[in-house]
Amino acid sequence: MIESLKHLPHAAGSSSALAEQFNDLAPALTERQAAIESARCLYCYDAPCTRICPSEIDVASFIRNIHDKNINGAAAGILKQNILGGSCARVCPTEILCEDACVRNHDEEGQPVKIGLLQRHALDHASFKAYPFQRAERTGKKIAVVGAGPAGLSCAHRLAMLGNDVVVYEAREKSGGLNEYGIAKYKLTGDFAQREVEFLLSIGGIEVQHGRTLGVNLQLHELHAQYDAVFLGLGLNASRQLGLTGENAPGLMAAVDYIADLRQASDLTALPVPERAIVIGAGNTAIDMAVQLKRLGAQDVTLVYRRGFESMTATHHEQDIAKANMVRIRTWAAPLEVLLDETGRVRGMRFEETCLDEGRLIGTGAFIEIAAEAVFKAIGQSIDPVGLSDEMAQQITREGDKIHVDAQFRTALAGIYAGGDCIAPGQDLTVQAVQHGKLAAMAIHNDIQFKVEASHG
């Protein structure tokens, strides 16, 4: 993946010093802090934090359990609704969800209960004597799940819990999807993502096959024929193009590819690190990329976005992380040209300054150049077209570049369901993908019991 950057110097410093830069962004609560924080919760009736949680966790209930020193009870309550609650506690944008809705956030205190850290505390300290979920009596039904990311894993777990057998097909060599390959290393540290997958699979009844890619060595029509139902948790694996000449030049690559290599690197000193870098984008991936480059030792990192701060999809919290790590954010500038040196390698980029004219984004005719040895694009992902290239997959209705499903996550093909980032509409949040998988599993289970026909829409 990092072939494009092999001409750059490696990260400076010792392996241990670099590893120190990727410790937890938010330190865990101590037992005393958790006790104090849980005591701040008012256990609201019809609690707004629970109402806004995409995975319907009963927030007030699990916090009360922590307060009552019933850590296992708190953890079981979380996992019942969100089997990937540990990673969600670390990566969920709580500042725009449960903590934003917290009534403590809106009184004189202006300080919400630290719900994300309390959720993490419960799951990190639970010690179950036995697996907390029992499988229902076996149904004799078998379902294929394509993609071992949050949506696929959540779907597989709930299907197994309901008594079905599941085979998960995953293209990469590890399960976990974005949790394993796409989240900043300082958010999900160490082997946390893999330990969470192992816990999830402990329910039994789930087989995972790695190195199986839809459209390559796995065909939808075969799955459709062999299984009682198929769930597509494909994610968004194709990086969008800038559409500029020089896009394949050494020094330019997709941010997600670099992040994946960073997360899998056993020795961070082996990573190529530019002295000056440009990150193009406005979402969490762009922030993750920029901050991690700074932590690896890049001197000058500029994040460039064609609109203003208020239009960025990265939350204010994420923007603050970038600023705290000395990332320069340049707004109102659209990529125009990749600048190359005499050897054909990236030496910077040229941008046109932009503005809004009656709501439309236009160029102003003023230009800026930013010098950099590497450019990382974080301008969004789309479904890998190879995955939906077979004849049967072509019949799946699309909305833009995502899959159209009905309220029960059914696609236009009978027996084929989809969820997570690959469906419309979606917020591309881990917690939402987990919820999609859970709800789709319940719909699949009901449908295969009663053979409901597919949606056509």
Give 172-215 pLDDT, tens digit per residue.
999 999 999 999 999 999 999 999 999 999 999 999 999 999 99
- Return the CA Rg of the chain: 23
Handedness of CA 294, 89, 240, 220 (dihedral sign): positive
Measure the CA dihedral 138/231/411/428, to 10°: 130
Per the CB < 8 A criterion, the answer to whether 62 and 88 are in contact is no
What is the model's pLDDT at position 109?
79
What confidence score (pLDDT) does residue 110 get?
81
DSSP state of 95: G
Query: Which residues of the chain fall short of a pLDDT of 50?
Result: 452-457
Question: Is residue 110 within a helix (H) or strand (E), and if so which, with residue range?
Answer: none
Confidence (pLDDT) at 450: 77
Q: What is the pLDDT of residue 352?
A: 97
- Structural domains of the chain sorted by starting position, each given as residue range(s) with its CATH number in brackets: 31-125 (1.10.1060.10), 142-236+383-450 (3.50.50.60), 239-381 (3.50.50.60)
348-375: b (≥16 Cβ within 10 Å) or e: bbebbbbeeeeeeeeeeeeeeebebbbb
| Residue 361: both structure tokens together | 């984004």
Specify the amino acid at residue 352: E
Identity at 437, one-letter amino acid code: G
Q: Six-digit token pair at 325?
A: 């790590």
Assess contact for 439 and 409: CB atoms under 8 A.
Answer: yes
Say what the pLDDT of residue 1 is: 55
- How confident is the model over 249-287, as pLDDT tens digits? 999 999 999 999 999 999 999 999 999 999 999 999 999
Tokens of 359: 């709501």
Amino acid in the structure at residue 230? V
In single-letter form, the type of residue at position 3 comes to E
